[in-house]
Amino acid sequence: MPIPAESRPEHIDGILAGLDRYNPETVSTFQDYVQFQCENRTYDALANLALLKLYQFNPHLTKEETITNILVKALTIFPSPDFSLCLHLLPPNILDPKTATDALSEAVRKLAQLNELIESGAYREFWTAFENEDLFADLIVDCAGFEDIMRDGIALQTSMIAREVKKDIAQGWLNVNEDNLAEVVGQYGWTLEDDVVKVPLNKENEAKTTVFRENVAFNQFQNVIRRGFEQAV
Protein backbone atom coordinates (compact mmCIF):
# COMPACT_ATOMS: atom_id res chain seq x y z
CA MET A 1 0.00 0.00 0.00
CA PRO A 2 1.15 3.62 -0.50
CA ILE A 3 3.56 4.85 2.11
CA PRO A 4 2.49 7.93 4.12
CA ALA A 5 4.81 10.90 3.65
CA GLU A 6 5.63 10.87 7.38
CA SER A 7 6.76 7.23 7.10
CA ARG A 8 9.17 7.88 4.25
CA PRO A 9 12.81 7.48 5.31
CA GLU A 10 14.29 10.83 6.25
CA HIS A 11 17.13 10.65 3.76
CA ILE A 12 14.71 9.90 0.90
CA ASP A 13 12.42 12.72 1.98
CA GLY A 14 15.39 15.08 2.02
CA ILE A 15 16.39 14.12 -1.52
CA LEU A 16 12.87 14.54 -2.86
CA ALA A 17 12.47 17.92 -1.19
CA GLY A 18 15.59 19.40 -2.76
CA LEU A 19 17.60 19.65 -5.95
CA ASP A 20 19.31 16.31 -5.25
CA ARG A 21 16.30 14.56 -6.76
CA TYR A 22 17.85 15.56 -10.12
CA ASN A 23 21.35 14.49 -9.12
CA PRO A 24 22.50 11.27 -10.87
CA GLU A 25 24.49 10.38 -7.75
CA THR A 26 21.22 9.64 -5.95
CA VAL A 27 20.30 6.84 -8.37
CA SER A 28 21.82 4.09 -6.23
CA THR A 29 20.01 5.43 -3.16
CA PHE A 30 16.68 5.35 -4.95
CA GLN A 31 17.40 1.86 -6.29
CA ASP A 32 18.05 0.57 -2.79
CA TYR A 33 14.79 2.18 -1.68
CA VAL A 34 12.85 0.35 -4.42
CA GLN A 35 14.27 -2.91 -3.09
CA PHE A 36 13.25 -1.87 0.43
CA GLN A 37 9.67 -1.31 -0.79
CA CYS A 38 9.60 -4.74 -2.42
CA GLU A 39 10.81 -6.49 0.71
CA ASN A 40 8.61 -4.58 3.17
CA ARG A 41 5.36 -4.34 1.18
CA THR A 42 5.43 -0.56 1.09
CA TYR A 43 5.01 1.73 -1.89
CA ASP A 44 6.30 5.22 -2.60
CA ALA A 45 5.12 6.52 -5.95
CA LEU A 46 6.91 9.88 -5.66
CA ALA A 47 10.31 8.29 -5.08
CA ASN A 48 9.84 5.69 -7.82
CA LEU A 49 8.77 8.28 -10.37
CA ALA A 50 11.77 10.42 -9.42
CA LEU A 51 14.07 7.47 -10.12
CA LEU A 52 12.48 6.81 -13.50
CA LYS A 53 12.95 10.48 -14.33
CA LEU A 54 16.63 10.15 -13.47
CA TYR A 55 16.86 7.11 -15.74
CA GLN A 56 15.30 9.19 -18.49
CA PHE A 57 18.15 11.68 -18.38
CA ASN A 58 20.84 9.17 -17.47
CA PRO A 59 20.06 6.00 -19.46
CA HIS A 60 23.55 4.61 -18.77
CA LEU A 61 22.56 4.29 -15.10
CA THR A 62 19.45 2.26 -15.85
CA LYS A 63 19.01 -0.96 -13.94
CA GLU A 64 16.50 -3.22 -15.66
CA GLU A 65 15.61 -5.21 -12.56
CA THR A 66 14.71 -1.99 -10.74
CA ILE A 67 12.48 -0.86 -13.59
CA THR A 68 10.49 -4.08 -13.56
CA ASN A 69 10.27 -3.96 -9.77
CA ILE A 70 8.83 -0.44 -9.96
CA LEU A 71 6.26 -1.59 -12.52
CA VAL A 72 5.33 -4.62 -10.43
CA LYS A 73 4.82 -2.41 -7.37
CA ALA A 74 2.73 0.05 -9.39
CA LEU A 75 0.65 -2.87 -10.62
CA THR A 76 -0.41 -3.62 -7.05
CA ILE A 77 -1.85 -0.12 -6.58
CA PHE A 78 -5.07 -0.41 -8.52
CA PRO A 79 -7.19 1.23 -9.64
CA SER A 80 -4.79 4.13 -10.09
CA PRO A 81 -2.83 5.85 -12.87
CA ASP A 82 0.51 4.92 -11.29
CA PHE A 83 1.40 2.15 -13.73
CA SER A 84 0.71 4.37 -16.74
CA LEU A 85 2.73 7.20 -15.21
CA CYS A 86 5.68 4.85 -14.74
CA LEU A 87 5.32 3.49 -18.24
CA HIS A 88 5.48 6.97 -19.77
CA LEU A 89 8.65 7.79 -17.85
CA LEU A 90 10.67 4.86 -19.10
CA PRO A 91 13.89 6.08 -20.73
CA PRO A 92 14.03 6.27 -24.52
CA ASN A 93 16.65 3.52 -24.79
CA ILE A 94 14.08 1.06 -23.45
CA LEU A 95 11.16 2.16 -25.59
CA ASP A 96 13.15 2.53 -28.81
CA PRO A 97 13.11 -0.84 -30.65
CA LYS A 98 16.59 -0.10 -32.01
CA THR A 99 18.20 0.09 -28.58
CA ALA A 100 15.85 -1.79 -26.26
CA THR A 101 16.90 -5.16 -24.92
CA ASP A 102 14.55 -7.94 -25.86
CA ALA A 103 14.19 -9.18 -22.29
CA LEU A 104 13.19 -5.81 -20.82
CA SER A 105 10.88 -4.94 -23.69
CA GLU A 106 9.04 -8.22 -23.28
CA ALA A 107 8.80 -7.78 -19.52
CA VAL A 108 7.31 -4.30 -19.87
CA ARG A 109 4.85 -5.50 -22.48
CA LYS A 110 3.73 -8.47 -20.38
CA LEU A 111 3.28 -6.34 -17.27
CA ALA A 112 1.30 -3.79 -19.27
CA GLN A 113 -1.05 -6.58 -20.35
CA LEU A 114 -1.57 -7.62 -16.73
CA ASN A 115 -2.24 -4.02 -15.77
CA GLU A 116 -4.86 -3.68 -18.49
CA LEU A 117 -6.69 -6.76 -17.18
CA ILE A 118 -6.63 -5.73 -13.53
CA GLU A 119 -7.66 -2.15 -14.28
CA SER A 120 -10.61 -3.36 -16.36
CA GLY A 121 -11.82 -5.62 -13.56
CA ALA A 122 -11.10 -8.82 -15.49
CA TYR A 123 -9.85 -10.55 -12.35
CA ARG A 124 -10.24 -14.16 -13.45
CA GLU A 125 -8.48 -13.37 -16.71
CA PHE A 126 -5.75 -11.58 -14.77
CA TRP A 127 -4.95 -14.68 -12.72
CA THR A 128 -5.11 -16.92 -15.78
CA ALA A 129 -2.63 -14.74 -17.67
CA PHE A 130 -0.40 -14.48 -14.59
CA GLU A 131 -0.21 -18.24 -14.06
CA ASN A 132 0.13 -19.17 -17.73
CA GLU A 133 3.26 -17.07 -18.29
CA ASP A 134 6.46 -18.35 -16.66
CA LEU A 135 8.09 -14.93 -17.02
CA PHE A 136 5.92 -13.46 -14.27
CA ALA A 137 7.40 -15.77 -11.65
CA ASP A 138 10.77 -14.14 -12.29
CA LEU A 139 9.37 -10.60 -12.43
CA ILE A 140 7.64 -10.76 -9.05
CA VAL A 141 10.34 -12.67 -7.19
CA ASP A 142 11.56 -9.52 -5.41
CA CYS A 143 8.05 -8.31 -4.55
CA ALA A 144 7.16 -9.98 -1.26
CA GLY A 145 3.58 -11.23 -1.05
CA PHE A 146 2.63 -10.11 -4.56
CA GLU A 147 -0.23 -12.59 -4.96
CA ASP A 148 -1.64 -11.82 -1.52
CA ILE A 149 -1.45 -8.08 -2.19
CA MET A 150 -3.31 -8.48 -5.49
CA ARG A 151 -5.91 -10.74 -3.85
CA ASP A 152 -6.45 -8.20 -1.08
CA GLY A 153 -6.87 -5.44 -3.65
CA ILE A 154 -9.41 -7.43 -5.62
CA ALA A 155 -11.30 -8.21 -2.41
CA LEU A 156 -11.37 -4.51 -1.54
CA GLN A 157 -12.75 -3.55 -4.94
CA THR A 158 -15.33 -6.34 -4.71
CA SER A 159 -16.50 -5.18 -1.28
CA MET A 160 -17.11 -1.72 -2.72
CA ILE A 161 -19.46 -2.86 -5.45
CA ALA A 162 -21.21 -6.03 -4.26
CA ARG A 163 -23.24 -7.45 -1.37
CA GLU A 164 -22.96 -11.02 -2.61
CA VAL A 165 -20.98 -12.94 -5.21
CA LYS A 166 -21.59 -16.40 -6.61
CA LYS A 167 -19.11 -18.94 -5.25
CA ASP A 168 -17.57 -19.88 -8.58
CA ILE A 169 -17.09 -16.22 -9.50
CA ALA A 170 -15.47 -15.48 -6.14
CA GLN A 171 -13.09 -18.41 -6.65
CA GLY A 172 -12.03 -17.04 -10.00
CA TRP A 173 -11.62 -13.48 -8.79
CA LEU A 174 -9.59 -14.45 -5.71
CA ASN A 175 -7.79 -17.31 -7.44
CA VAL A 176 -8.56 -19.89 -4.74
CA ASN A 177 -9.98 -23.39 -4.93
CA GLU A 178 -13.25 -24.57 -3.45
CA ASP A 179 -11.60 -26.20 -0.44
CA ASN A 180 -10.06 -23.02 0.95
CA LEU A 181 -12.58 -20.45 -0.31
CA ALA A 182 -14.38 -20.21 3.04
CA GLU A 183 -11.09 -19.63 4.87
CA VAL A 184 -9.93 -16.95 2.44
CA VAL A 185 -13.20 -14.99 2.35
CA GLY A 186 -13.35 -15.24 6.13
CA GLN A 187 -10.17 -13.16 6.28
CA TYR A 188 -12.14 -10.30 4.75
CA GLY A 189 -15.10 -10.71 7.07
CA TRP A 190 -17.16 -12.36 4.34
CA THR A 191 -19.18 -15.56 4.75
CA LEU A 192 -19.89 -18.47 2.46
CA GLU A 193 -23.54 -19.50 2.44
CA ASP A 194 -24.38 -22.39 0.11
CA ASP A 195 -23.25 -21.19 -3.33
CA VAL A 196 -23.02 -17.50 -2.49
CA VAL A 197 -20.35 -15.42 -0.81
CA LYS A 198 -21.92 -12.74 1.37
CA VAL A 199 -20.21 -9.38 1.71
CA PRO A 200 -21.12 -7.29 4.78
CA LEU A 201 -22.86 -3.98 4.32
CA ASN A 202 -20.55 -0.97 4.16
CA LYS A 203 -20.81 2.66 3.10
CA GLU A 204 -19.63 1.80 -0.42
CA ASN A 205 -21.94 -1.13 -1.29
CA GLU A 206 -24.97 0.16 0.59
CA ALA A 207 -27.95 0.93 -1.63
CA LYS A 208 -28.66 4.64 -1.48
CA THR A 209 -31.82 6.45 -2.46
CA THR A 210 -31.16 9.41 -4.68
CA VAL A 211 -33.67 12.26 -4.65
CA PHE A 212 -33.65 14.65 -7.55
CA ARG A 213 -35.12 18.03 -6.79
CA GLU A 214 -35.51 20.87 -9.23
CA ASN A 215 -36.32 24.42 -8.25
CA VAL A 216 -38.28 26.15 -11.00
CA ALA A 217 -39.16 29.81 -10.71
CA PHE A 218 -42.62 30.93 -11.75
CA ASN A 219 -41.25 33.40 -14.30
CA GLN A 220 -39.79 30.48 -16.24
CA PHE A 221 -43.36 29.52 -17.18
CA GLN A 222 -44.41 33.01 -18.26
CA ASN A 223 -43.89 32.37 -21.96
CA VAL A 224 -45.72 29.03 -21.82
CA ILE A 225 -48.68 30.54 -19.94
CA ARG A 226 -48.81 33.52 -22.27
CA ARG A 227 -48.85 31.35 -25.39
CA GLY A 228 -51.58 29.17 -23.91
CA PHE A 229 -53.67 32.23 -23.07
CA GLU A 230 -53.16 33.75 -26.54
CA GLN A 231 -54.17 30.50 -28.28
CA ALA A 232 -57.29 30.23 -26.12
CA VAL A 233 -58.31 33.79 -27.02
The CATH number given to whatever domain includes residue 56 is 1.25.40.250
Please give the pLDDT value at position 204: 77
Please give the pLDDT value at position 223: 66
Whether residues 93 and 119 share a domain: the answer is yes
Whether residues 28 and 108 share a domain: the answer is yes
Whether residues 178 and 114 share a domain: the answer is no
Q: Name residues whose C-beta falls within 8 Å of residue 74's C-beta, 6 or more positions apart in sequence.
A: 43, 45, 48, 80, 82, 83, 85, 86, 115
Please give the pLDDT value at position 181: 94
Please give the pLDDT value at position 212: 61
Q: Domain span at residue 124?
A: 1-144
Whether residues 132 and 230 share a domain: the answer is no
Among 85, 38, 95, residue whose Cα is nearest residue 65 = 38
| Blockwise average pLDDT, block size 10, the chain, 233 residues | 66 94 96 96 96 93 95 95 94 63 85 95 97 96 96 95 93 94 94 93 74 63 62 56
Q: What single letter denotes the amino acid at residue 13?
A: D
Whether residues 166 and 134 share a domain: the answer is no
* pTM of this structure: 0.83
Whether residues 181 and 226 share a domain: the answer is yes
Residue 121, φ and ψ in degrees, nearest 5: 80, 15
Whether residues 95 and 202 share a domain: the answer is no
Please give the pLDDT value at position 202: 81
Answer yes or no: are the C-beta atoms of 67 and 90 closer than 8 Å: yes
Please give the pLDDT value at position 105: 86
Please give the pLDDT value at position 103: 87
Overall domain count for the chain: 2
Please give the pLDDT value at position 203: 84
Whether residues 123 and 192 share a domain: the answer is no
